[in-house]
Amino acid sequence: MSGSLDEQTAVVTGSSSGIGFGIAQHLASEGANVVVNSRSQARADAAVDEIECSSDLLPIEADVTDRDSLRSLADRTVAEFGSLDIWVNNAGINIRGPAEEISLDEWQTVIDVNLSGTFYGAQVAGNQMIDQGTGGNIINISSMMGEQGQTGRTPYNTSKGGVNNLTRCLAIEWADHDIHVNAIAPGYIETEMVDDAQDQIGFDRQDVVDRTPLGRFGTVDEVANCVTFLAAGDHFMTGEILHPDGGWLAFGWGSKS
């Protein structure tokens, strides 16, 4: 698929590390101009320095919970590259704990970043793509947890369930503008966030492996490949939630061990 995104411009929110960084790197390797975003300009700059490609990269500080900040990011993107063709809503956080102990601030923080931030980004991108009149691809990074309940993750799972239905609603509303809106809902992926969860709550990695039909954690590259496929636009898909989860949801419940 090399060069499949030549002359396209992509924004990836929360792309200074983890899955977002992998997505930015993959899109750039396919020829897209890529805006690398973080709440910290220093982290965005450092991420750009790490990406090896011949595409143009632009680091921009912006907070996804601030719609005006995202509008400014979009305006700078268009001023620099002339268009906005791909927008990936990747920024996300997780706060864990028993539901009865989650504070209002903790709940609101997760909803603000994961759900409202995704809506703000999609709205800003959608308006720009509508004005351009050339269509586009909006890709929301959700989670397989948006399809199920889980102890200690009520704010996160709820926010990702909202992202899934937001994806379907926007896909329907913007189909007439040839704007495809889809989501990627990964399972357990080897990232710093998973490492942090292991440190905080001490889940057993072997339990996850045993619960996953493919028998391992996924990789950032595998998630980024799914995003690149959707971004290339050579498909008849909108309103879809793709699950690179190693078969977790298909398995229902149980363990291979």
> What are the two backbone dihedrals, phi and then psi, of residue 60, each rounded to the nearest 5 degrees?
-135, 130
* Whole-number pLDDT of residue 239: 98
Question: Does 49 reside within a domain?
Answer: yes
Is the pLDDT assigned to residue 203 strictly greater than 70? no
Helix, strand or coil for residue 183? Answer: strand
CA atoms of 94 and 155, how far apart (whole Å): 8
Q: What is the CATH classification number for the domain harbouring 235?
A: 3.40.50.720
* Whole-number pLDDT of residue 249: 94
| Mean pLDDT score across all residues of the chain | 94
The CB density around residue 235, as the number of other CB atoms within 10 Å, is 12
pLDDT band, residue 1 (cuts 50/70/90): very low
CA atoms of 129 and 135, how far apart (whole Å): 6
pTM recorded for the entire structure: 0.94
Residue 242 and residue 149 in contact, taking contact as beta carbons nearer than 8 Å: no
Question: Does 210 reside within a domain?
Answer: no
* Whole-number pLDDT of residue 205: 85
Question: Does 208 reside within a domain?
Answer: no
Question: Does 2 reside within a domain?
Answer: no
The total number of structural domains that make up the chain: 1
Nearest to 153 by CA among 92, 73, 206: 92
Q: Which tokens is 245 given?
A: 């989860």
Q: What is the tens place of the pLDDT at every residue in 41-81?
A: 999 999 999 998 989 999 999 999 999 999 999 999 999 99
Residues in a beta bridge with 87: 11, 138
CA atoms of 61 and 79, how far apart (whole Å): 16
Question: Does 206 reside within a domain?
Answer: no
The catalytic residue positions are 156
Question: Domain containing 171: what range?
Answer: 9-190+218-243
> Rounded to the nearest 10 degrees, how much is the dihedral formed by the CA atoms of 237, 242, 244, 248?
-140
Residue 113 and residue 65 in contact, taking contact as beta carbons nearer than 8 Å: yes
**189-to-23, 165, 238 alpha-carbon distances in Å:** 13, 23, 24
